[in-house]
Structure 1
Amino acid sequence: MKLAITLTTLALTVATSLYSGKNQDWQILFDGRSLDGWESNEETANVFSITANGALMVEGGRAHLFWLGLDQTPATFTNFELRAEVKTTQNSNSGIFFHTRFQEKGWPQYGLEAQVNSSHKDARKTGSIYALKDVLDVPPHPDDTWFEYTIRVEGKSVSICIDGTEVNSYTEPENFIPLENRPTTRLDSGTFALQAHDPKSLIYYRNIRVKPLPLTE
């Protein structure tokens, strides 16, 4: 009996260790319960809220919600894989910024934007790396249905997947010349931000998590 208990305890310890190891790489940014670690620039107040079922609702005028970090999860990322579940509604627009930094108002000037848009009039649809390499006119998902958005950055390369299928990829050229109106739109390092685009847009996010990746030479 003693041996059986010892073996059972050992098995549970190993299983727990394996399970923890599997999940340690992923860091939760939004768990559906609080916005700890996030800060809105409040350009328009009260546009980010948590629904009863644990989704982050983005509705109202222009504002951006920036990840500023917690003790165990930093606010600066270079190479990473970000995953979020997203649901768009009709004629709505949003975006996930990465390699960005907090600013009090206006469209974020640093980093890149992964577009979130199925039916908004903007021709740049979900999967677009905004203004650098766009997915035009035909969205890779319908409105009113949850989908998984994956952004993976390694060095100067970005891969965008929707529900596990790559819909866009981009590599920043060695002689990259930034857009004239966006001189700091380039791959570097920084944090994440979620966009509230306009008063008529309604977007939902949930299960936002990130896995830091090793630096590349």
Structure 2
Amino acid sequence: MKSISYRLLFISLLAISCQNQTTESSVSLFDGETFNGWEGDTLNTWRIEDGVIIGGNLNEMVPHNDFLCTTTTYDNFHLKLKIKLTGSEGFVNSGIQFRSERLKEPAHEMTGYQADWGENYWAGLYDESRRNVTLIAPDSTEVLTWIKPNDWNDYEIKAEGKRIRLYINGHQSVDYTEKDDSIPQSGLIGLQIHGGAKAEAAFKDVFITRL
């Protein structure tokens, strides 16, 4: 009887393990070499250098907001990536769009949620080209103790149903629940470089887990 019980326990544990691997498996969204799975202005604005996606230019003013976005839509997910923002002139800002879509006019813009990144906007949740407001932001003093300006930072977005949580370098910066039923809860993921600055936004180690 003990032998049968152990076998049943082993089978149960194996089934749970397989289920967790299926539901919690992380997938890379960037192969480190190509823009496969992404679309955007890869001729002028976006490039790949040493396994890093870079948008913008430190020597020339970025003319307008620009986004490199996925060709696949996502609803419930846990996104992890590293971000680095550098610049010395103008409005130096970046962010990660999610549950978003491209606008038809202007075509380089996106609308939807944005995990913001930049001075006075560090790790806040912004509603890009829609409500055009910061929906929620961390304490402006505390967040400065979490971030590493001009260096790589670990950024996480967890979107489950109408609940959105943002994390920067292991610290939760945002916990927001959408109350407006008209706001789409599925869409594209996009990487942003903000216009009006001599700046570069760099991204690497981009992984997503569907929830």
Q: Which residue of 1 aligns with 2:116?
A: 115
Q: Which residue of 1 aligns with 2:70?
A: 67
Query: In structure 1, what residue type is equivalent to 2:85?
Result: T
1:148 to partner: Cα distance: 0.9
Q: 4+ residue stretches of structure 1 with deviation over 4 A?
A: 21-24
Select between 88-97 and 152-161 the one with higher mean Cα deviation.
88-97
Higher strand proportion = 2
Q: Point out where structure 2 has 5 or more consecutive residues left out of the alignment.
A: 1-13, 127-133
Q: Point out where structure 1 has 5 or more consecutive residues left out of the alignment.
A: 1-13, 69-74, 178-183
Question: 1:157 aligned to 2:163?
Answer: yes
Spell out the pairing of 1:1-217 with structure 2 (5 A cutoff). 21=21, 25-40=25-40, 42=41, 45-51=43-49, 53-60=50-57, 61=62, 62-68=65-71, 75-91=72-88, 92-104=92-104, 105-109=107-111, 111-117=112-118, 119=119, 123-125=120-122, 127-130=123-126, 131-135=134-138, 137-138=140-141, 139=144, 140-173=146-179, 176=180, 186-198=183-195, 199-213=197-211
1:135 to partner: Cα distance: 3.4
Classify 1:86/1:93 alpha carbon distance in 2 versus 1 (closer, same or farther; 3 Å): same
Select between 142-151 and 78-87 the one with higher mean Cα deviation.
142-151
* TM-score normalised by length of structure 2: 0.72
Provide the C-alpha distance between the structure 2 equivalents of 1:148 and 1:76, rounded to a whole number of angstroms. 22
Q: CA RMSD in A?
A: 2.7
Q: Which residue of 2 aligns with 1:10?
A: none
* TM-score normalised by length of structure 1: 0.70
Aligned identity (percent) is 27
1:22 to partner: Cα distance: 8.2
Q: How many residues align?
A: 172
